Structure 1
């Protein structure tokens, strides 16, 4: 795009992979923006110019209140400049205490709306993480940084995103789909409810092993249906992981939306494959619970030969360990 505006650089906001982000002011309108300055020499060094141009094209095509808007882009011989919506409160931070149910549903409502819109455009973000969720001065959340985003038709097996937020199929270099965003959103949800990441290791190699093989441990003091939602999002096999639209039918999400007067656009819509069949076991963070005898819950005989049980209703033993799901909705 041709640059018809002049901008005054006010201060540095942060660093990116190929450059820096600055707070700038449009001299004509006096409006503040974030300006992402990308070094062409760095792009050439890492053969990433096509990736950045695709990022601009994709993010510019999205018009959603919870996606950071691209207002302009231009270049000179040294740099590419991207003029972005400025989010005064910065990146979403690791919380010092767990989010309340009200805070969680307000956050999830906005992220689900953004991701549903993106996915309906046949796009996938592939790098959802705290750093890429910005907070506007009005308190709203906005998804940013579409550097790893692509059309679903162009997805190839590749390590993409940030390791701590990658699903098993990505760390294993397998083919993947839009459900990678479900997993990454699940990691963010885990962080907001536990104040820590689900998988932590000293090296990427160790981290990849944990993501591929280890089960997560969920705090059993959380609402039972919230535990199920987190476990569903962090399901290792993407076949059984819910997509974004299916999350609107989560018991926890439906209840919280009603409680806080948030409109659920899919509440009365019949979706094909609305529910996922899966067997879930939620690990307790209370080690004493693991010592206790587990109860076996038998499925309905008419469904005994199905792949697995439904995601939503669960039985818990006296210690609070969720063991298997009954037949029900997510």
Structure 2
């Protein structure tokens, strides 16, 4: 399948899907391994080949401020434009060849409807590398009332974000640990993590619902000053109502550090709250109350969460607080009002 996100540059082509902007000669693939210059065009090798396929609660992405309690069909492909040394989906993401089951966009949406899900999530690996495939699935999904979510590392280009705006309803933009350049260089093979903030702005400018996650890795990616810098930039871009989740790291792939202590996560939570962020969460933890949503105005419990289950406790159907009327802008379609 010919990709759309590329341009010609002499005897080479330049892929414009992600901020690596790979220059390729005939026969070469990009860093992701699945966008290949072949027979004079850029081919998206994984088109029609979803790899990894599951029905999840929306909270697992995590998307916490859009249709809580919804069920979504999740899939990814092989390949990735990052090389995280601790990737939990490395069997997919670090596989630089086509794998998966042949399924057209029409068939994927048909399967989603058969499973009675509310939306589709493009996840597990980096969806930007299969943007054209995701776009074709997403446009069909919209025709049947299904919403679309990207779980992304935030390395999109202006070109790919323009395409994403055609079909995306939400993005979870995931910082992969310490948001500083040295960390990204050493552990992810990425040079310019600051570009992720541009993606956050693009997403919000396009009216795409945007949530932020930060994987807190002990010893190497848990610096509180760096976390403060990240929160400050996010607040400047999206404001104090931007949802931010700090996620516990678990050892995997090439990194065997112990799981993030709860105390470390709590310090990150406290910093974000002290900086005026209203919606701060901890993920992958069993401690109570750090996944709940509270009203920024009156403090009432709006959504109670445990693991990946949500109960609407204090939201009206229009997303306003039942206690004080504060408008949260959290749509509650397909949720059960308690």
Q: TM-score range by the shorter chain?
A: under 0.3
- Decide which structure has greater helix share: 1
Larger radius of gyration: 1
- Decide which structure has greater strand share: 2
TM-score under structure 2 normalisation? 0.27
TM-score under structure 1 normalisation? 0.28
